[in-house]
Amino acid sequence: MLNFRHSVNHMIVIAHDIRSLHNIGSIFRNAAAFGIEKLYLTGFTETPPRKEIAKVALGAQDLVAWEKVGIKDLISNLKDNGYEVWGLETGEDAVSIEELKDKKLALVLGNEVEGIDKETIKLLDGIAEIPMKKKKSLNVSVASGIAMFVLS
């Protein structure tokens, strides 16, 4: 049986420029399942109430604290409040997601096609990736669930 450290995981998730409303709904559902403290929706990521989000979230959008804000000010404010802000992204400089355990963490999820834009990456403390074998790519909602599981 899994034993989570906290009923509320003191991790923040930032869904930045997520295009698919179904992915947004799934990210809400993952956040509720793993007790994420707060979900920020930034860039062109849509917000509830939307039937396409609700269809996948299955009520999770009402269980998770969320807010629509600008990414630059958010990252600055989080860092001022002691959070490390990391992106979930593949790349040469990426560390394994497991290295982020036990940090006061805000995790940025990027666009399904382009990932996290370069301007935003420059603001981050670093990027972390989920170790993968043959295919080095996951759907953003799947990746978010794996990351939330590993870090909770």
* Three-state SS at 24: helix
Q: Is the residue at 68 inside a domain?
A: yes
92 found inside a domain: yes
pLDDT for position 10: 80
Report the CATH number at residue 89.
3.40.1280.10
Q: Within 10 A of 105 (CB to CB), how many other CB atoms are there?
A: 22
Retrieve residue 38's tokens.
């707060």
Residues 63/109/13/20 CA torsion (nearest 10 deg): -20
One-letter amino acid of 125? D
Asked if residue 49 is part of any domain, the answer here is yes
- Bridge partners of 38, per DSSP, are 12
The answer as to whether 2 is a domain residue is no
What pTM does this model have? 0.93
Residue 138 lies in a domain: yes
Where residue 8 falls among pLDDT bands split at 50, 70, 90? Answer: low
Q: Which domain range does residue 110 map to?
A: 9-151
Percent over 70 (pLDDT), the chain: 94
DSSP class of 80:
H
Provide φ and ψ at 86, rounded to 5°. -120, 150
Closest CA to 16 of 129, 144, 150, 104: 144
Query: Do the Cβ atoms of 61 and 28 come closer than 8 Å?
Result: yes
Q: For residue 75, is it within any domain?
A: yes
Q: Is the pLDDT of residue 128 over 50?
A: yes
For residue range 48-88, list pLDDT tens digits in order.
Answer: 999 999 999 999 999 999 999 999 999 999 999 999 999 99
Residue 13 lies in a domain: yes
Residue 6 has pLDDT above 80, yes or no: no
Which single residue is written with the structure tokens 């269980």? 63
CA neighbours closer than 13 Å in the CB half-sphere of residue 56: 17
- Residue at 4 is within a domain: no
**Domain count within the chain:** 1
